[in-house]
Structure 1
Amino acid sequence: MLQYLGLENGVITLILSTLVLALWKMWPTKKWDPRGQFCYVTGGSSGLGLAVAIALTKRGAHVTIVARNEERLAKALAELEKTRQSSNQILRSYSFSLTDADASHAALEAASKDHGNKYPDTVFMCAGAARPGFFVEEDAKSMQKGMDNTYWIQAYTALAYTKQLVRSQTSGKLVFTCSILGYMSLIGYSTYSPGKHALRGLAESLRSELILYNSSVHIMFSGNIDSPGYVEENRTKPKITLEIESTDKPTAPDVLAKELINGVQRGDFHIAPDMLSNIIRSSTTGATPHHNVLLDVLYALIGWIGLPLWRRGVDSTVLKHRKEHKDYLATRGFFKSTD
């Protein structure tokens, strides 16, 4: 994607490095320490969720992972056991379907019993899935499933956790995982991006509301993640989308896990793990709190120049596929459909 921006990486790096050095003392100090904290991770059996769980375990946290597949959960828990820092750490796994509200509540209840009915100090919501495709081939069922796997799978956990925080009159942290497709979108993500935009809206609302309860909200916007989920989504991803993303190398889960935890420690609301996500974040900030005003202005300036060029390149790529796309729909029998 950076190739579309029409900017030299060396120049950008030099400018950013200079500003970072000049403004180093303006950055907030790390305050949150996961050591000894009860951390709850959804989607913890693979990909980013597992990487976050491992990173937290290495930092001395008590970690509970939740996912649907029991076999993968067992393997993931074994990975956590290899990285435990002390015999006192409580490491657990539970199998629940988190696209169901009652199951999301039950999962938190089960996890809390391991801690004397104490609810998690921090909830990391990493569960989710994408099934890219063309909007004209979707139906009501696939659209609902898209929202289930992008929005409700995190929103139900957030709802259950928030209720218990307030009822128990304790404070905590809600950490959502989103995507840069929660800032913008492109062809192929019509059942994925809407749910990610909705997650941003939920996080914005909760950040304001949870001030009442001395609790914080964080949300990370990452690019593609080198995970089993990424391999699976590429099976249905349109050829046009694959071409647009061809220059974007997916990021390793452990790298993103580190950036996510560091962002929580800094107290960032919107966590941008790399330069590209920072450019898009700063270009779409609106009323969202800034990280560092001067750096955000620089990022926004780069975006103001580069993002329109990127979008023009994307549109050009899409148009080149017009005839091929029409032929594809014809072979699928789309034009004979009565939908």
Structure 2
Amino acid sequence: MNFFRQHWNPRNKHCYITGGSSGLGLALAIILAQKGADVSIVARDQTKLDEALKELENVRQTPDQKLKAFSFSLCDPKLSSDALEAACAEHGGRTPDAILMCAGAAHPRFFIESQAKDLQLGMDNAYWVQAYTAWAAAKRMVRTQTQGKIVFVGSILSYMSFIGYSSYAPGKYALRGLAETLRSELQLYDISVQMYFPATIYSPGYEEEMITKPKITKKLEETDGGQTPEQCAQALLAGIARGDFHITGELFGHIFRSYSSGISPGNNLLLDTMYSVMGLIGLPVWRRSVDSAVRAHKVEHAQYLQSNGFHAAK
């Protein structure tokens, strides 16, 4: 139960957001700025950052509120550290109170059609882009004795996966493992760790996914209603405020969270039990339907490979 937890208030706190130029990261930055937080956003594209910063300025609450943008690539450990240091410098060297890692991207495709670079890029975009930031942040928080919070953004694919996500889901599984480990370890320093598990987010990143996403993957996701970045940002912040470790914002996510939680701390004993029972009954049925759809796609897939000359390739 959440009754005895102290709810988190972002007002006057420095919130550092990766992937903050669009999608979930930008939606999160806007809401936090509206709540009176100092917000630093980090992304690669300077043009998008400039546009995002204008949106943040439109919701500024006080003249002294610090709203900053920084252009860095976060798939490199040194640049991830440099980005964090640049944001801290704007605050007189003060370490952020909250690290919210929304950076990431997916490029779904068939495993056998992937190149080695696709597999590496998948791990960069799903795991390292957040792991390096968390590493830099944890070291800085401990060094400066900052009792802050580190928040990862995973995916429903951190709990399960299916056809098309061979270059993405492994990184999200690994990210969940990192969050589980740090939740335990960083208690030594009074640093809290949380992780968000969204399903489909209708963001610019989603449009990129659709370019390479296999037809069968699209078909399996037809029943996923999806959410806007704003809806996801609200769900994420609500979970952060409550102190939930695993944060989800829709029914399917709650079912997977409760059914797959292992020894992770739960959110609500009664609701989690109900979701687990729903998973016990419904998820095996769902998995069988997925397997059935994949097997039914065999002939069409064979024709697809033939038309693309896959069998003739070396």
The verdict on a shared fold, with TM-score over 0.5 as the criterion, is yes
CA distance in 1, matches of 2:2, 2:19: 35
How far is 1:30 from its partner? 5.0
Give the letter for the 2:139 counterpart.
K
* Corresponding position of 1:42: 18
* Corresponding position of 2:65: 89
Is 1:275 matched with 2:251?
A: yes
* Corresponding position of 2:129: 153
CA distance in 1, matches of 2:58, 2:2: 38
Alignment map for 1:1-339 (pairs within 5 Å):
27-29=3-5, 31-338=7-314
CA distance in 2, matches of 1:67, 1:139: 26
In 2, are the aligned partners of 1:28 and 1:266 still within 8 Å (CA)? Answer: no
In 1, are the aligned partners of 2:2 and 2:267 still within 8 Å (CA)? Answer: no
SS at match of 1:39: strand
CA distance in 2, matches of 1:210, 1:266: 19
TM-score (norm 2): 0.98
In 2, are the aligned partners of 1:27 and 1:292 still within 8 Å (CA)? Answer: no
Structure 1: runs of 5+ lacking an equivalent: 1-24
* Corresponding position of 1:18: none
Structure 2: runs of 5+ lacking an equivalent: none
How far is 1:29 from its partner? 4.8
How far is 1:139 from its partner? 2.2
SS at match of 2:133: helix
In 2, are the aligned partners of 1:64 and 1:91 still within 8 Å (CA)? Answer: yes
Give the letter for the 1:262 counterpart.
A
Give the letter for the 2:298 counterpart.
R
CA deviation vs aligned residue, 1:212-244 (integer Å, no higher than 9, x gap):
000100000010001000011011100000001
Give the letter for the 2:191 counterpart.
S
SS at match of 2:212: coil
TM-score (norm 1): 0.91
CA distance in 2, matches of 1:225, 1:209: 31
How far is 1:337 from its partner? 2.2
Give the letter for the 1:161 counterpart.
A
CA deviation vs aligned residue, 1:160-215 (integer Å, no higher than 9, x gap):
00011111122110000010100000100000000000000000000000000001
CA distance in 1, matches of 2:63, 2:51: 19
CA distance in 1, matches of 2:155, 2:65: 31
Give the letter for the 1:195 counterpart.
G
Give the letter for the 1:334 counterpart.
F
CA distance in 2, matches of 1:88, 1:191: 43
How far is 1:58 from its partner? 0.5
SS at match of 1:334: coil
CA deviation vs aligned residue, 1:99-137 (integer Å, no higher than 9, x gap):
111110000000001100011000000000000000011
Count of equivalent residues: 314
CA distance in 1, matches of 2:268, 2:307: 52
